[in-house]
């Protein structure tokens, strides 16, 4: 999901709220902040045995020219090519598919 949020903390909070509302889910939210792309991935605790947010976000962050990492239930990333944010968000489907 692409949103218009300029602050990393707000992006994390939004991702966690969406995940909590959806229940068992993996949520990836991205935003453009100036010349950079920001990404947050959250994974429901019930799914962290199969999917780790940090492992999911690394290949996604590479698409926007960045890197990332985090805990099994939440990870953040940033990159220098925000023009590829939509492509990066779509990558999640290929990874978890």
Give the tens place of pLDDT for each residue, 26-55: 999 999 998 999 999 999 999 999 999 999
Q: What is the pTM of this model?
A: 0.94
pLDDT of 6 > 90? The answer is no
Question: Distance (Å, rounded) from C-alpha 73 to C-alpha 43?
Answer: 5
Residue 97 confidence class, pLDDT cut points 50, 70, 90: confident
Question: Distance (Å, rounded) from C-alpha 92 to C-alpha 10?
Answer: 21
Question: Distance (Å, rounded) from C-alpha 11 to C-alpha 16?
Answer: 9
Q: Are 88 and 81 in contact (CB under 8 A)?
A: no
Q: Which residues contact 89 (CB under 8 A, 6 or more apart)?
A: 1, 2, 28, 30, 39, 60
- 8-96 sits in which CATH class? alpha beta
Domain locations in the chain? Answer: 8-96
Question: Distance (Å, rounded) from C-alpha 75 to C-alpha 39?
Answer: 8
């Amino acid at each position: 999901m692409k949103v218009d949020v300029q602050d990393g903390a707000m992006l994390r909070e939004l991702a966690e709220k969406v995940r909590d509302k959806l229940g068992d889910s993996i949520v990836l939210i991205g935003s453009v902040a100036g010349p950079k792309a920001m990404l947050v991935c959250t994974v429901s605790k019930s799914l962290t045995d199969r999917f780790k947010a940090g492992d999911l976000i690394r290949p996604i962050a590479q698409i926007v020219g960045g890197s990332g990492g985090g805990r099994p239930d939440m990870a953040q990333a940033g990159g220098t090519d925000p023009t590829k944010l939509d492509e990066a968000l779509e990558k999640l489907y290929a990874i978890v598919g």
